[in-house]
Amino acid sequence: MEKLRFRQVHLDFHTSPHIPGVGKMFDKKYWQDTLRQAHVDSITCFSCCHHGWSYHPTKIGKMHPELNFNLLRAQMDACKEININVPVYLTAGINNMVAYEHPEWREIGPEGGYPSWGTSPLKAGFHKLCLNSPYLDYLCDLISEAAGMFPEADGIFLDIILQGQCCCRWCLEDMLRNGFNPENKEERIAFSKQVLMKYYRRTTEAAKAHDPKMRIFHNSGHIQCGNTEILQYFSHLELESLPTGGWGYDHYPMSAAYCRNLPFDFLGMTGKFHNTWGEFGGFKHPSALRYECAAMLAQGSKCSVGDQLHPSGRLDASTYKLIGSAYAEVAAKEAWCDNVTSAANIAIYSNTALNHAEGRGENESAAEVGVCRMLLESHIHFDIIDDKMSMDKYKILILADDICINEQLKAQLDAFLEKGGKLIMSGSSGLNPEKTDFVLDIGASYHGCNELSPDFVLPAAECAPEIISTPFVMYGVSQRIKAAGGKSLGQVFDPYFNRDFRHFCSHQHTPYKTEASGFDSGVISKNILYFAHPVFSIYRGYGAVLMKQYVMKAIRSFMADDMMVTTNLPSQGRVSLMRQEAEKRYVLHLLYVNTVIRGGGKNPLTGEPFNSVEVIEELNPINDVKVTIAVPEAVSKVTLEPQGRAIPFENINGKLSVVVDQVECHQMVVLHY
């Protein structure tokens, strides 16, 4: 199967039936010239949109009432003439035309309401359909029809793959028939997962009915860590992560850190919009799109930029000038970004996978987000693994905050430590499932959970953050440990009492007692580093910089010679190290940008809140970036790419040292061996 291309556009076309003249301005030559000038080599075009309309003749669905020709065929033919791939999009989980004609196929929540993107029937929004109703038959027929009409399509993209705790007549009947209790939330959730598996099987069969090699991707916004059962129905991965659409700039590196360990080619998906999907006439600054595409390359992936086609069918000139400014750079860098593997020697054991969290949004793992952010800001390149992935290629493994160790995990960790691996844990990680004692010898004795919170830490001198010589507050409950064989990271100071209506002090929390509690804030032994507080969840919630310094000083000391990359980049900088084995080279990616939060407040007309947006405007250069890199091979040459310029390097105590004169947005430093 052909690999994914590097420069894709995801061309949304959700078009109201009340807009006239759909597709009337489509012009083949303009379409081709615009895409070529923007360096686009793949574009996802629409068969059926969220409104429910098809953009070609159909015997299953309904063609858009204001379209009078086969628009998808015209787009497909125009692209194929100039060697641009065309995956085909169909909506799946929502379809308003079907919802209006078959309201009985709509998903019904346990409270009796219809899940919808609008909070009221009187507000605009798309309607969720039940994938266990006869709608699934309709959807599969629609997919099969499109795959048959467009056999040269470069894949089928199915969108909004969700199934809630539906209580429609079909779900209630099937739950009762199969022994599920509809009145029990957990059993409704279990049944909904069963429905989803049926959806994956049947829609994949429909997409491949005419060509078993047809690509297929089912989009639910991200790939949940550990949810590997569904991946048998995927040909590749597309990681939706619009930084300005609510995901933020740290979401994509986290998603990629997990997905690059899966056996799939994958791409990242951002958008050209100032905020999120569906914004006509909204543009982000060209600097932002340049950075976002560079960040995708740095994580080992291809690129996709979301756009929305005007109902007239004419591509927006400003949009493709914007995309072209980024994709020209991607085209120049592809040779150093293809066929890469991560060179990370540190892995985060996924909290999301082990604890079955949703992985994004309100149910995200705070510990997983926190540890990822801390490592990103500290320029430590990492992977994320689930409980089915091997630990063998890593030297350091992190179990963040809330991973208790069962017998299976203990056996894996024993083998990992026996081979010389090192383990970093925090909070209740490392405890047995009953939380009565540590499963591994961490170099400390366990004395339960601190009943007083928040408590305070006075770090040992080698872990102390800048200027701090007195206890600082920890915004989370600690475990009580006393170092016994290991070295203490610092002392815990308890508050006088917990804050409640009976006794409180000042505006927030109670101050600390002047005498130490006798318990330690953490311990470091030969192969285990342990923090008594859930430091990564705390960092996710509070962003305490001084606490990060305390944690990272301990981690750097513990990793010692296992640190693969060190640099003087500011914390906004990002670093990744990828390997191209066939070319016998490593590619070090250095990125730097300043993001600023803008917007917010309230709409004076409606009183509703404005969403703030994380904006990139200027790309400020950083000069004289020093980097030390440790790789096992003997490096013969170091070049800056794509400039093709060799730079001097030194070998100091087995580590390579270079100085990059300037980093503006993104610089690749290539180590040839």
**What is the reported pLDDT for 456?**
97
Q: Is the pLDDT of residue 112 over 90?
A: yes
Indicate the range of 340-344, 491-495, 640-644, 649-653 predicted with least confidence. Answer: 649-653
Dihedral, CA of residue 389, residue 393, residue 395 and residue 398, to nearest 10: -20
**What is the reported pLDDT for 359?**
43
Mean pLDDT computed over 151-172: 97
Share of the chain above pLDDT 90, in %: 92
Q: Is the pLDDT of residue 215 over 50?
A: yes
Q: Which CATH class is domain 346-562?
A: alpha beta
> Which residues, other chains included, contact 666 with Cβ-Cβ below 8 Å and sequence gap of 6+?
290, 291, 294, 295, 297, 298, 329, 589, 590, 591
112 φ, ψ to 5°? 100, -5
Whole-number average pLDDT of the chain: 95
Mean pLDDT computed over 185-207: 97
Q: Which residue carries 């959730």 as its tokens?
A: 189
CA–CA separation, 581 and 587 (whole Å): 11
- CATH 3.20.20.80 intervals, the chain: 7-338
CB contact at 8 A, 53 and 64 = yes
Overall pTM > 0.85: yes
Mean pLDDT computed over 392-397: 96
Q: Which residue carries 């109902």 as its tokens?
A: 311
pLDDT band at 119 (very low <50, low <70, confident <90, very high): confident
Q: Is the pLDDT of residue 362 over 70?
A: no
- CATH 3.40.50.880 intervals, the chain: 346-562
pLDDT tens per residue across span 572-629 = 999 999 999 999 999 999 999 999 999 988 888 788 888 888 999 999 999 999 999 9
pLDDT tens per residue across span 430-479 = 999 999 999 999 999 999 999 999 999 999 999 999 888 999 999 999 99
Mean pLDDT computed over 416-441: 97
- CATH 2.60.40.1180 intervals, the chain: 566-672
pLDDT tens per residue across span 45-68 = 999 999 999 999 999 999 999 999
**What is the reported pLDDT for 356?**
64
The Cα-based distances of 44 to 61, 80, 89, 163, 268 in angstroms read: 20, 13, 6, 24, 14
The conformational region for residue 136 under phi > 0 = left, psi -120 to 50 = alpha, else beta, is alpha
**What is the reported pLDDT for 182?**
98
CA–CA separation, 95 and 86 (whole Å): 22
CA–CA separation, 163 and 175 (whole Å): 14
Q: How many CB atoms lie within 10 A of CB 656?
A: 21
pLDDT tens per residue across span 613-655 = 899 999 999 999 999 999 999 999 999 999 999 999 999 888 9
Q: Which CATH class is domain 566-672?
A: mainly beta
Per DSSP, the three-state class of 389 is coil
CA–CA separation, 93 and 381 (whole Å): 36
> What is the largest distance, in Å, between two alpha-carbon atoms of the chain?
81
Share of the chain above pLDDT 70, in %: 99
Mean pLDDT computed over 98-121: 93
> Which residues, other chains included, contact 649 with Cβ-Cβ below 8 Å and sequence gap of 6+?
635, 638, 656, 657, 658
pLDDT band at 363 (very low <50, low <70, confident <90, very high): low
Q: Is the pLDDT of residue 357 over 70?
A: no
CA–CA separation, 392 and 395 (whole Å): 8
Question: Which of 323-327's residues contact partners 24+ apart within 8 Å by CB, and which partners?
Answer: 323/9, 323/38, 323/39, 323/40, 323/272, 323/289, 324/37, 324/38, 324/39, 325/286, 325/289, 325/290, 326/286, 326/289, 326/290, 326/292, 326/293, 327/7, 327/38, 327/39, 327/40, 327/293, 327/303
CA–CA separation, 540 and 530 (whole Å): 18
Beta bridge partners of 59: none
* CATH fold label, 7-338: TIM Barrel (3.20.20)
Per DSSP, the three-state class of 574 is strand
**What is the reported pLDDT for 223?**
80
Q: Is the pLDDT of residue 358 over 60?
A: no
Token pair in block for residue 538? 């705390």
Q: Is the pLDDT of residue 88 over 50?
A: yes
**What is the reported pLDDT for 282?**
95
Q: Which residue carries 């009340």 as its tokens?
A: 18
The Cα-based distances of 13 to 29, 39, 72, 144, 304 in angstroms read: 20, 21, 11, 20, 16
**What is the reported pLDDT for 523?**
98
Mean pLDDT computed over 357-386: 85
The Cα-based distances of 603 to 274, 276, 615 in angstroms read: 17, 18, 20
